[in-house]
Structure 1
Amino acid sequence: MSLFLATLLFGLFLALLGAVLLWNNSSVGSTARALPRSRRGAWLFFGAGAVWFVWRLSRLTESDLIFFQTPPPVMFGFG
């Protein structure tokens, strides 16, 4: 995937998300207002962020781990 295509797809995704939020529907508006205070949304987004972070740490090369010999302690310590 090229940088141009990745940028284009992300821009189209954001434009679509903006169009959905501008659409004057009561269910979309109530969901968007309730999402920051939603317990389920918090678990979903923070959980996905933690999984992504641990995945990124597990893919570190040896040159990135200058102070550590093995990545598992780092993964579990920061994850």
Structure 2
Amino acid sequence: MDLTFFGKDPNSKLEDCPSVWVDDATADLVFQGWKADKATEAECLKVGSIPDHEGVFRIPASMVDQIRKALDVAEERARVL
């Protein structure tokens, strides 16, 4: 699997900070983020279940620029798939 990296949270000082990629084969977005707390999960559960193979994550607003760039590339790649 090949992923195109778009960036890490610019406000984070840690190496393990939130990040965003685009999967080169599927054009899917791939996110690394902070695991949501129980209150956030409870709010999400109001609209449906969270299966064991899924998770709720927080992505900081400071990553909007990287996410926009990733979205543009994902959209372009999805057109040719």
Place the TM-score, normalised by the shorter chain, in its bin. Answer: under 0.3
Question: TM (normalized to structure 2)?
Answer: 0.26
The TM-score, its normalising length taken from structure 1, stands at 0.27
Which has the larger strand fraction?
2
